[in-house]
C-alpha cells in the first residue's frame, strides 16, 4: 500500500518558484537617489543596445531585487531592443514585468508594445492597446496600427483606420501614407489607393520619400497589374536606392517579364547600385525563366564574391537556376550548390527534387532525395513537393522510363513508396496520399504487403478510417503489421469496440500479436475508459502470449486508470512497476490530474517529472494549466514565468487542413492567410449561430487572467476553430472536414466544434496529438472522454 503523504507545495516544486534574493533587501528609500542604481542602469542600457536581451532582463530583475525601481526608459529601451532583435517572446516577458511595475506608460512605450504584438501576428492585443491609448495616440501609433492591420490581412479595416486618423484631425506623414497605400495594394482596394495617391501628390511626400514611392509602385503593379505606370513612377522618383531597384526588378520577374527584369538589373548595376540577397534571388529566378545559364553563372560568381552564398533563398534560386537551364552537367552543378548549402528548408529540398524530376529519367534520384529528406526528419513536405513527387511516380509507372531507372542503379522499391506515403500521412495530406495510391495501382506495387500496410496507416492517420479498412480488406496476405495498423487506426479513432473485434479476428486467424499490437489494444481501452477489459488484456499479454510488458504498456495502463478517475490506483500501479517509471508515465498521470482537477497529486507528478528531466516544458505547461483551470492564476503565471526564465519554450499550437490547392496551416490568432478576412467573418457568423443553439464559451481554457469578454475573443482565435472555419468556406456539403492539430485539442474547441457540426450539418474529423475525434450532428465519437 502506498500512502500519499505529500510534502507542502513549496517543498514539492522548488525549482519552479523563484527563490527570494539571498542578499539583504535595502529599505524602501530608493530609486535615483541610491548610488547603486545608475551603474546598473548603464549596464542595462549597454546590454540592451548590444542585443544581449537575456542579460539585460537579468539586470532589470537585479535592480528590482535590490528594491530599486527601474524607470520607464529602461523598460522602453528593452522593448525596442527585443523588437529590433526579433526576440518577441522576451518582449512579451518585458511587457509582463512592465505591467507588474505599475508604472504609467507613455506613448513611446505603448507604441513599442503595439509594434511588438503586431510583429508577433497578434493583432487583437495590438489593437486593444491602441484603443486604450486615448489621448496618448500619436502619428506613430496610427501608423503602427494601420500597418499591423494590413499585415494581418485586414486591409479594409486598415484603410478605415487611416480615414479615422484624418477625421480625428491628425495630418498624415510619410509613414502613415506608406502604410495606407500598402493597404490598398490589392485588386479590391486599388481604387481607394488612387484617391490617397492624389492626397500624397499634394503633400509632396512622393518627391521626398523613397518608401512612399515604393508603396505607390506596388499600388500599380499589385493593385492594377500595370507595370507601365509602375515604371513611370519609378522613373519620376527623384531618389532611388537598391530597394526600389530591386522592387521594380522583382515585379517584372513575377509578372512574366523576365527579360525586362534582366535589363533593369543591368541598368541597376551600371548605375552604381549594389545588388543584395533580395536582388540576387529575384534575378536568378528570371535567369531560370529565360534559360540564361551563362548570365546565371556570372551571377553565381558575384553571389560568392558578395558573401551571399550561405543565404537559403539565394541558394534555392541557384539550385533552381542550374536545374532549369538544361545543358549537360548543369544538374550536377545544381546538386553541388544544394550539397554546399549550410541550411536547407522545404523550398531548397523541393527545388532540387523538382530539378531531378524535370530533367527526365531521374525520377528515382528524386524519390531517393525525398526519402533522405524524410529520414533527416526536420523538414515536412508541402504541396509543391508532392506535385513533383507525383510526377515522378507517374513517370515510374511508364514502362519505358522504368527501364532507365534500373540504369541509374537506384531501385525504386516498396520502401520508397512507403516513405512517400508516410510523409503524406505525417502532414495529413490524405488527398496527396490518395493520388500516390492511384499511381501505385498503375505501377504494379499494389499487391505488395509493405506498401499496403503503409496505405492502411496513411488513410487512418489522414482521418479516413473507412478507406483504411477498405485497403485492409482488399489485402489478402496480411501480416502482424497489417493487423496492428488497423487496430491502431480504430483505437486512435476511438472505435474501441471495432479495435477489439479486429484483435479477436486476428487471434482467430492464428496470427501471433506482438508488443506493438498490445499497445494498440491497451490504448483502445484507455481511449474509452474500459478498465476491466484493459486489465484482462494486460494480464493475458504475458500469461498467454509470453510478451513482457514494457514501459509503454505500463504507460497505457496508467492512462486508462488515471483518466477513468482511479488516480490513486494509478499511482499504486506506478510504484508496483518492476522498473522506475519514466517521465512519460508521470506526464500521463499529470494529464489525468488535470482532467480530474487533482492539484496535489498533479504537483507530485510534476515533481517526479522534473526530477528526471528538469527542463521538461510539458511538466510546466501541464502544471500551469492545472492551476489555471482551478482559477489559481497567480500560481499559473508564476510557473509560466519560471518557464521563461529557464528559457523553456513550448511548441506553438497549430492546426492545418488539406484542400485541393494544398495544406493550409494556422496558428493561434493567425491572420497571415490570404483569406483571413473571410475566415474571421465566418468565425463571427459561427459564434452567433452556435450561441443560439446553446453553446456557452468555456473560458476556463483561456490561460490568462483577463476579462470574460476578452477571454471569449481569445477562444475564437484558437487554431482549430480557424481551420474549421476555413474548411467550411472552402468546401461544401457533404464533404467531411478533416483538420489536424500538433497538440491536444482544447476543451472549448471540442465543445464548439460539436455545435458547429450541428449548426452546419457537416461532419468534422479532428486528429490531435493523441487521437481522432469524429464529430457529427452535435456529438463526438470520443463521448467527451479523452
Residues 451-480 within binding reach of DNA (CB under 7 A)? none
Among 162, 175, 772, 786, binds DNA (CB under 7 A): 175
Q: Which of residues 319-338 bind DNA (CB under 7 A)?
A: 320, 324
Determine the Cα–Cα distance for residues 782 and 762; give it in Å rounded to an integer: 17
How far is it, in rounded angstroms, from Cα 180 to Cα 160? 9
Cell of 786: 479523452
Of 57 and 521, the one with the shorter C-beta distance to DNA is 57
In order of 261, 284, 313, 529, 683, the CA distances from 309 in angstroms are 22, 13, 9, 57, 44
Nearer to DNA, 143 or 453 (CB): 143
Contact status, residue 720 vs residue 766, Cβ threshold 8 Å:
yes
Q: How far is the CB of 249 from DNA (least distance, A)?
A: 8
- Whichever of 345 and 638 has its CB closer to DNA, that residue is 345
Q: In the window 217-246, what residues touch DNA (CB under 7 A)?
A: 218, 241-244, 246
Q: Which of 87, 125, 253, 655 binds DNA (CB under 7 A)?
A: 253
Identify the residue among 47, 59, 125, 174 touching DNA (CB under 7 A): 174
Alpha-carbon distance of 482 to 475, in angstroms, equals: 9
All three cell numbers of 602, joined, read: 498533479
CA-CA distance, 91 to 80, in Å (whole number)? 9
CB of 291 to DNA, least distance (A): 13
User: Which of 275/669 has CB closer to DNA?
Assistant: 275
Residue 748 · residue 715 · CB < 8 Å: yes
Q: Least CB distance from residue 143 to DNA, whole Å?
A: 3
With CB under 7 A as the contact rule, the residue among 166, 346, 531, 630 that binds DNA is 346
- Strands in 772-776's sheet, in edge-to-edge order, are 662-667, 654-659, 737-741, 764-767, 772-776, 779-780
Choice from 71, 170, 263, 276 touching DNA (CB under 7 A)? 276
Q: Which of residues 187-206 bind DNA (CB under 7 A)?
A: none
Nearer to DNA, 133 or 595 (CB): 133
- Choosing from 87, 250, 448, 655, the residue that interacts with DNA (CB under 7 A) is 250
Secondary structure of 442-485 in HEC code, one letter for each residue: HHCCCCCHHHHHHHHHHHHHCCCHHHHHHHHHHCCCCCHHHHHH
| CB closer to DNA out of 69 and 345 | 345
Near DNA by CB under 7 A: residue from 125, 354, 416, 482 = 354
Map residues 722-761 to x or -, x wherever contact with DNA holds by CB under 7 A. Answer: ----------------------------------------
CB of 185 to DNA, least distance (A): 9
For the CB of residue 112, give the shortest distance to DNA in the complex, in Å. 4
Of the residues 351, 465, 491, 520, which one makes contact with DNA according to CB under 7 A: 351
Site string for DNA, 18-57 (x = CB under 7 A): ----------------------------------------
The three cell numbers of residue 434 are: 490518395
Shortest Cβ 648–DNA spacing (Å): 27
Q: Three-state SS across 662-691?
A: EEEEEECCCCCCCCHHHHHHHHHHHHHHHH
Conformational region of residue 137, where left means phi above 0, alpha means psi within -120 to 50, and beta covers everything else = beta
Sign of the dihedral through C-alpha 705, 706, 708, 712: negative
Residues in 659-718 at the binding interface with DNA, rule: CB under 7 A: 661-662
d(CA 169, CA 723): 40
Smallest separation, CB 543 to DNA (Å):
54
Q: Which stretch binds DNA (CB under 7 A): 11-19, 271-279, 416-424, 492-500?
A: 271-279
CB of 735 to DNA, least distance (A): 20
Query: If DSSP states are collapsed to H, E and C, what string results for 416-450?
Result: HHHHHHHHHHHCCCHHHHHHHHHHHHHHCCCCCHH
CB of 443 to DNA, least distance (A): 19
Phi, psi dihedral angles at 775 (to 5 degrees): -110, 120
Query: Within a 10 A sphere around the Cβ of 44, how many other Cβ atoms?
Result: 25
Selected from 59, 87, 282, 464, the binder of DNA by CB under 7 A is: 282
The Cα 376–Cα 496 span in angstroms is 34
Helix (H, G, I), strand (E, B) or coil at 169: coil
Minimum separation from the CB atom of position 638 to DNA (A)? 29
The binder of DNA chosen from 13, 53, 56, 211 (CB under 7 A): 211
The count of residues interacting with DNA (CB under 7 A) is 72
Q: What's CA 749's distance to the chain center, in Å?
A: 18
Q: How far is the CB of 555 from DNA (least distance, A)?
A: 38
Determine the Cα–Cα distance for residues 61 and 68; give it in Å rounded to an integer. 10
275 vs 534, beta carbon nearer DNA: 275
Minimum CB distance to DNA, residue 676 (Å):
17
Residue 487's SS3 state is: helix
Residues 484-523 that bind DNA (CB under 7 A): none
Helices vs strands, H then E, count in the chain: 42, 6
Out of 13, 60, 140, 496, the only residue in the binding site for DNA (CB under 7 A) is 140
* 367: CB partners within 8 A, 6+ apart: 389, 392, 393, 396, 412, 416, 420
Min separation Cβ 199 and DNA, Å = 15
Touching DNA, residues 67-126 (CB under 7 A)? 79-80, 83-84, 107-108, 111-112, 115
Name which of 387 and 599 has its Cβ closer to DNA. Answer: 387
Query: Counting every residue, how long is the chain?
Result: 786
Least Å from the CB of residue 520 to DNA = 36
Give the Cα separation of 783 and 653 in Å (integer): 24
**Given the complex with DNA, which of 16 and 215 has the nearer CB atom?**
215
Q: What distance separates the 2 farthest-apart alpha carbons in the chain?
A: 89
Tell me if 720 sits within 8 A of 741, measured CB to CB. Answer: yes
Rounded to an integer, what distance in angstroms lies between the CA atom of residue 459 and that of residue 701? 31
Q: Are strands 764-767 and 737-741 parallel, antiparallel or unpaired?
A: parallel
Q: Classify residue 565 by its DSSP letter.
A: T
Shortest approach of DNA to residue 2 CB, angstroms? 55
Interface of this chain with DNA, residues 293 to 322, rule: CB under 7 A: 311-314, 316-317, 320
What is the β-pairing status of strands 779-780 and 764-767? unpaired
Smallest distance from the beta carbon of 416 to DNA, in angstroms? 19
363 binds DNA (CB under 7 A): no
Please report whether residue 384 would count as binding DNA according to CB under 7 A.
yes
Cβ neighbours of residue 437 closer than 8 Å, sequence gap 6 or more:
421, 455
Question: Between 249 and 610, whose beta carbon lies closer to DNA?
Answer: 249
By beta-carbon proximity to DNA, the closer residue of 217 and 639 is 217
Contacting DNA (CB under 7 A), which of 130, 206, 280, 755? 280
With respect to DNA, which residue has the nearer C-beta, 11 or 202?
A: 202
State the CB neighbour count (10 A cutoff) for residue 620: 24
Based on the shown chain and the rule CB under 7 A, indicate whether residue 347 belongs to the binding site for DNA.
Answer: yes
Among 137-145, 480-488, 510-518, 577-585, which window interacts with DNA (CB under 7 A)? 137-145
Judged by CB under 7 A, the residue of 122, 155, 157, 209 near DNA is 209
> Rounded to the nearest whole angstrom, what is the least distance from the CB of residue 389 to DNA in the complex?
10
Considering beta carbons, is residue 178 or 730 the nearer one to DNA?
A: 178
For helices 515-528 and 551-563, angle between their N-to-C axes, nearest 10 degrees: 10
Among 182, 419, 448, 460, binds DNA (CB under 7 A): 182
Tell me the window of 141-149, 488-496, 613-621, 717-725 that interacts with DNA (CB under 7 A): 141-149
Amino acid at each position: 500500500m502506498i500512502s500519499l503523504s505529500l510534502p507542502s507545495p513549496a517543498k514539492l516544486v522548488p525549482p519552479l518558484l523563484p527563490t527570494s534574493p539571498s542578499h539583504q533587501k535595502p529599505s524602501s528609500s530608493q530609486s535615483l537617489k541610491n548610488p547603486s542604481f545608475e551603474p546598473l542602469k548603464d549596464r542595462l542600457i549597454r546590454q540592451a543596445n548590444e542585443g544581449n536581451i537575456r542579460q539585460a532582463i537579468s539586470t532589470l530583475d537585479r535592480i528590482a531585487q535590490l528594491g530599486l525601481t527601474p524607470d520607464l526608459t529602461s523598460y522602453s529601451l528593452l522593448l525596442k531592443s527585443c523588437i529590433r532583435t526579433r526576440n518577441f517572446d522576451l518582449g512579451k516577458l518585458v511587457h509582463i514585468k512592465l505591467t507588474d511595475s505599475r508604472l504609467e506608460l507613455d506613448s513611446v512605450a505603448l507604441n513599442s508594445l503595439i509594434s511588438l504584438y503586431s510583429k508577433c501576428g497578434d493583432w487583437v492585443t495590438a489593437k486593444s492597446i491602441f484603443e486604450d491609448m486615448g489621448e496618448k495616440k500619436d502619428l506613430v501609433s496610427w501608423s503602427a496600427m494601420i500597418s499591423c492591420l494590413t499585415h494581418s490581412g485586414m486591409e479594409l479595416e486598415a484603410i478605415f483606420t487611416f480615414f479615422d486618423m484624418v477625421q480625428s484631425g491628425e495630418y498624415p506623414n510619410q509613414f502613415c501614407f506608406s502604410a495606407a497605400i500598402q493597404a490598398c495594394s490589392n485588386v479590391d482596394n486599388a481604387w481607394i489607393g488612387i484617391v490617397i495617391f492624389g492626397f500624397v501628390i499634394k503633400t509632396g511626400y512622393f518627391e521626398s520619400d523613397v518608401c512612399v514611392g515604393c508603396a505607390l509602385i506596388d499600388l500599380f503593379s499589385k493593385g492594377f497589374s500595370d507595370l507601365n505606370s509602375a515604371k513611370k513612377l519609378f522613373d519620376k522618383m527623384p531618389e532611388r536606392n537598391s530597394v526600389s531597384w530591386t522592387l521594380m526588378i522583382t515585379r517584372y520577374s513575377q509578372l512574366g517579364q523576365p527579360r525586362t527584369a534582366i535589363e533593369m538589373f543591368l541598368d541597376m548595376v551600371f548605375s552604381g547600385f549594389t545588388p543584395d540577397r533580395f536582388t540576387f534571388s529575384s534575378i536568378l529566378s528570371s535567369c531560370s525563366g529565360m534559360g540564361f545559364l551563362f548570365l546565371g553563372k556570372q551571377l553565381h560568381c558575384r553571389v560568392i564574391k558578395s558573401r551571399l552564398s550561405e543565404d537559403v533563398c539565394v541558394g534555392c534560386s541557384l539550385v533552381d537556376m542550374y536545374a532549369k537551364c538544361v545543358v549537360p552537367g548543369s544538374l550536377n552543378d545544381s546538386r553541388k550548390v544544394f550539397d554546399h548549402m549550410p541550411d536547407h528548408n522545404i523550398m531548397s529540398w523541393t527545388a532540387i527534387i523538382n530539378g531531378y524530376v524535370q530533367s527526365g529519367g531521374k525520377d528515382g534520384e528524386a524519390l531517393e532525395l525525398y526519402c533522405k529528406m524524410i529520414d533527416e526528419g526536420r523538414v515536412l513536405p508541402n504541396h509543391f513537393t508532392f506535385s513533383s513527387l507525383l510526377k515522378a511516380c507517374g513517370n515510374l509507372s511508364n514502362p519505358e522510363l522504368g527501364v532507365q531507372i534500373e540504369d541509374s542503379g537506384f531501385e525504386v522499391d516498396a520502401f520508397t513508396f512507403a516513405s512517400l506515403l508516410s510523409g503524406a500521412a505525417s502532414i495529413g495530406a490524405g488527398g496527396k496520399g490518395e493520388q500516390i495510391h492511384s499511381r501505385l495501382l498503375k505501377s504494379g506495387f499494389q499487391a505488395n504487403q509493405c506498401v499496403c500496410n503503409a496505405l492502411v496507416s496513411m488513410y487512418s492517420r489522414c482521418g479516413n478510417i473507412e478507406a483504411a479498412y477498405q485497403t485492409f480488406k482488399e489485402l489478402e496476405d496480411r501480416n502482424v503489421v497489417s493487423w496492428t495498423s488497423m487496430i491502431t487506426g480504430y483505437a486512435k479513432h476511438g472505435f474501441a469496440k471495432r479495435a477489439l473485434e479486429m484483435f479477436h479476428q486476428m487471434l482467430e486467424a492464428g496470427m501471433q500479436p506482438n508488443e506493438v499490437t498490445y499497445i494498440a489494444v491497451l490504448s483502445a481501452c484507455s481511449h474509452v475508459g474500459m478498465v476491466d477489459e484493459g486489465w484482462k488484456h494486460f494480464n493475458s499479454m504475458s500469461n498467454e502470449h509470453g510478451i513482457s510488458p514494457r514501459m509503454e504498456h505500463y504507460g497505457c495502463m496508467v492512462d486508462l486508470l488515471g483518466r477513468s478517475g482511479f488516480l490513486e490506483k494509478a499511482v499504486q500501479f506506478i510504484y508496483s512497476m518492476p522498473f522506475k517509471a519514466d517521465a512519460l508515465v508521470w506526464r500521463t498521470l499529470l494529464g489525468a490530474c488535470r482532467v480530474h482537477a487533482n492539484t496535489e497529486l498533479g504537483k507530485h507528478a510534476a515533481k517526479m517529472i522534473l526530477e528526471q528531466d528538469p527542463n521538461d516544458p510539458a511538466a510546466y505547461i501541464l502544471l500551469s494549466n492545472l492551476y489555471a483551470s482551478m482559477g489559481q492564476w497567480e500560481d499559473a503565471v508564476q510557473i509560466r514565468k519560471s518557464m521563461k526564465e529557464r528559457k523553456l519554450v513550448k511548441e506553438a499550437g497549430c492546426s492545418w487542413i488539406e484542400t485541393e490547392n494544398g495544406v493550409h496551416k494556422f496558428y493561434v490568432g493567425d491572420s497571415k492567410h490570404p483569406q483571413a478576412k473571410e475566415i474571421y467573418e465566418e468565425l463571427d457568423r459561427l459564434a452567433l449561430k452556435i450561441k443560439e443553439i446553446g453553446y456557452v464559451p468555456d473560458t476556463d481554457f483561456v490561460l490568462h487572467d483577463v476579462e470574460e469578454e476578452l477571454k471569449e475573443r481569445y477562444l475564437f482565435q484558437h487554431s482549430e476553430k480557424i481551420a474549421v472555419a476555413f474548411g467550411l468556406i472552402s468546401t461544401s456539403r457533404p464533404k467531411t472536414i478533416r483538420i489536424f492539430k500538433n497538440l491536444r485539442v482544447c476543451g472549448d474547441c471540442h465543445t464548439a466544434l460539436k455545435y458547429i457540426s450541428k449548426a452546419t450539418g457537416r461532419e468534422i474529423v479532428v486528429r490531435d496529438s493523441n487521437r481522432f475525434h469524429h464529430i457529427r450532428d452535435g456529438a463526438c465519437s470520443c463521448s467527451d472522454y479523452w
